[in-house]
Chain A
Amino acid sequence: EDQVTQSPEALRLQEGESSSLNCSYTVSGLRGLFWYRQDPGKGPEFLFTLYSAGEEKEKERLKATLTKKESFLHITAPKPEDSATYLCAVGHNAGNMLTFGGGTRLMVKP
């Protein structure tokens, strides 16, 4: 059974304080690892897809990396507008569904 665990559950940062969010996964045949941002009361917003170990993607202050067991979302010099819940999900080769982690709630204080 696919499993996705995100840590920490919540993270408080000062503006400009860089950090990383972790997504550990167990999946039989990874077809993709997906990162989303979700604001309160809204649907998740797609950020990145990573397909193979060693792959990296960047967007503004965010950088996602992937190994065979985990993915990291690095946030460089975060701003208050980066405050949101970040969700990680994996898809496996044999099915159509995505398995989501519980998310990391990021709060960036000015």
Chain B
Amino acid sequence: GQQLNQSPQSMFIQEGEDVSMNCTSSSIFNTWLWYKQDPGEGPVLLIALYKAGELTSNGRLTAQFGITRKDSFLNISASIPSDVGIYFCAGLISMHTGKLIFGQGTTLQVKP
């Protein structure tokens, strides 16, 4: 079946550093989403990407929809302690059903 490979699995960085994570797939997706999950809570949408090559920013976050439509990247600039959490990528399987497939997640820890 379809799979998303998200890397790295975890990151431990110093406050102020930039962070990069990515998702790759053998399948083509028409929509890529990035979510953040705080401990013990549900994921919250960060950025949605709808077009190959699209680069979208949300504050210190920037995400790109790969031109092959098989990958996506998320960058966080100048990390702060509240960036701690699990970041998930998701690809849209079906526009009709809204079904998503999720990556395994990247756990981010930030040292003040």
B is bound to A: no
